[in-house]
Amino acid sequence: MEWIRIYEGKAKILFETGERGSVVQRFKNDATAFNALKKGSIPNKGAINCQLSSHLFQFLESNGIRTHFLERISPIDMKIRQLRMVGLEVVVRNRVAGSLVKRLGMEEGTPLAQPILEWYYKRDDLGDPLVNRDHIRILRLAEDAVLAQIGQMAKRANDLLVPYFAERGILLVDMKFEFGTDETGSLFLGDEISGDTCRFWDATTHDKMDKDRFRQDLGKIEENYLALFRRVTRHEPEI
């Protein structure tokens, strides 16, 4: 059966394949920032992010975190569980960076005494605003029990990934997670885990190895995505 495109976002495309309960997620080279006000393309980003996400999803699965990942079927395609996504982006922060610099008036890179968990309403037209649990209840985005489960899974994933990256000489500054439920109501971690959705810094130099290089016109974007991939997986990507 020919794949049917059912959704295209800024960085990924979803295809229906006729197999119940699963879809194919294709990663693109397109890059956007500032709610798509800045657009561009990063060579081989799709392949690097697909394979890095596959690697990290399997690591989390092996440690008890349920993810939507089923298998990688090409350098840029992975088969995933079909989920009904919760309309929230969940950000876990370990150091001060990005919008937290302005909001807290703290210096970029300052370690946080404990991870901070933030909720953002997933609405591009509103700029994905920061929301609290009262907002989430008013908007009926998720029940309190689901939010509690999401929070536990996000913090557990962070607890696993921080030392995992540290062993590879990388600081996990912050990361964005998205979650969804399958047809039985079970909750899974979805989307991707990559330089597009996380801030990664070299542990010694604090050089940025993520999409901030695109956002801030720092150059050497593909080189740093490749360096991140090689350091994390300890092999070369299929490109």
The pLDDT of residue 184: 95
CA-CA distance, 201 to 222, in Å (whole number)? 15
Helix pair 221-233, 45-62: axis angle to 10 deg: 30
Q: How confident is the model at residue 36 (pLDDT cuts 50, 70, 90)?
A: confident
The pLDDT of residue 1: 63
Do both 200 and 126 map to the same domain? yes
Q: Is residue 226 part of a domain?
A: no
pLDDT one-digit tens code per residue, 211-220: 999 999 999 9
Q: Is residue 228 part of a domain?
A: no
Distances (CA, A) of 175 to 20, 36, 155, 196, 200: 30, 19, 11, 9, 9
Do both 63 and 104 map to the same domain? no
Is the pLDDT at 35 greater than 90? The verdict is: no
Do both 167 and 212 map to the same domain? yes
Do both 58 and 150 map to the same domain? no
Do both 178 and 202 map to the same domain? yes
The CATH number of whichever domain residue 34 belongs to comes to 3.30.200.20
CA-CA distance, 2 to 15, in Å (whole number)? 10
CA-CA distance, 78 to 184, in Å (whole number)? 22
Do both 100 and 18 map to the same domain? no
Q: How many domains does the chain have?
A: 2
Q: Are strands 179-181 and 187-189 parallel, antiparallel or unpaired?
A: antiparallel
Domain with 195, as residue range(s), is 84-220
Q: Quick one: CA dihedral 76, 51, 194, 66, positive or negative?
A: positive
The CATH number of whichever domain residue 115 belongs to comes to 3.30.470.20
CA-CA distance, 10 to 186, in Å (whole number)? 27
pLDDT one-digit tens code per residue, 144-193: 999 999 999 999 999 999 999 999 999 999 999 999 999 999 999 999 99
Do both 130 and 62 map to the same domain? no
Q: Is residue 229 part of a domain?
A: no
Answer yes or no: pTM beyond 0.75. Answer: yes
Is the pLDDT at 229 greater than 70? The verdict is: yes
